[in-house]
Amino acid sequence: MKNSQHYLITLAQGLAACLLLATLPGCFPLVATGMGAAVLMADDRRTAGAFVEDEAIENKALLRVEQKHSAGVHLNVTSFNRLVLLTGEAPSAEVRSDIERIVRGIDNVRTVQNEMVVNPTTTLMLRSNDSVQTSKVKARFLDANKFRTNHVKVVTENGVVYLMGIVKRQEAEDATEIARTTSGVQRVVRIFEYMN
């Protein structure tokens, strides 16, 4: 209860600051973005440097892969504490391997877990369903109130839920059980770093 109250107070303070800053002409988008990132980083188990590096890794990976493999590829790149998850579809095993090679070559990437499949790209409807599934899992995390929801990152691809984060073992077990028992989830893949 204490953790959720602290989180809500921190969130409320950040939102209040953003609303006050809205009265400053011309500064709001830049300052609001900075405030939002500061509120998220304040409760993140990654260092501020790793948080920024994760964003850079994701952007570089998508750009570099797009430059070489645009046809027939659907790629999602998720970096958490410089551990990179690749999901989506590739037209061949060779393209799938080359995408992994490209991403492994990016500065600061510690490891890559390539979960891409060799298939035609999924439809927008299926991707939309995956977004809904991610939201359902996150909502159940919030309802269960067993850990801070921002400590576990949720990625859904074609009905498979991937869980990432720096967590305690009990948090990993709780997150896995909640995700596994969410309707529509076909499988859960854990990509955690453990604190204990």
Q: Is 0.85 topped by the overall pTM? A: no
Which residues fall within 8 angstroms of residue 38, CB to CB, at 6 or more apart? Answer: 14
Please check whether residues 34 and 73 belong to one and the same domain. no
Please check whether residues 140 and 189 belong to one and the same domain. yes
Which range marks the domain in which residue 108 is found?
Answer: 48-118
Phi, psi of 24 (to 5 degrees): -90, 110
Question: Of 118, 135, 161, which residue constitutes the final position of a domain?
Answer: 118
Number of domains composing the chain: 3
Please check whether residues 149 and 87 belong to one and the same domain. no
**CA distance readout (Å), 3 to 25, 85, 147, 149, 155:** 35, 29, 8, 11, 24
Question: Of 118, 143, 166, which residue constitutes the final position of a domain?
Answer: 118
pLDDT given at position 52: 96
Sign of the Cα torsion 53, 54, 59, 65 reads positive
Per-residue pLDDT of the chain (196 residues; tens, 9 = 90+): 444 444 444 444 444 444 444 444 444 444 444 445 455 556 789 999 999 999 999 999 999 999 999 899 999 999 999 999 999 999 999 999 999 999 999 999 999 999 999 999 999 999 999 999 999 999 999 999 999 999 999 999 999 999 999 999 999 999 999 999 999 999 999 999 999 8
Cα–Cα distance measured from residue 79 to residue 74, given in angstroms and rounded to the nearest whole number: 17
* Cβ-contact 80, 66 below 8 angstroms: no
Question: Of 118, 142, 164, which residue constitutes the final position of a domain?
Answer: 118
Q: Directed axis angle between helix 2-21 and helix 28-42, to 10°?
A: 170
| Residue 79's CATH number | 3.30.1340.30
Cα–Cα distance measured from residue 5 to residue 11, given in angstroms and rounded to the nearest whole number: 10
* Cβ-contact 162, 156 below 8 angstroms: yes
Burial 115-135 (b: 16+ CB within 10 A, else e): bbeeeebbeeeebebbeebbe
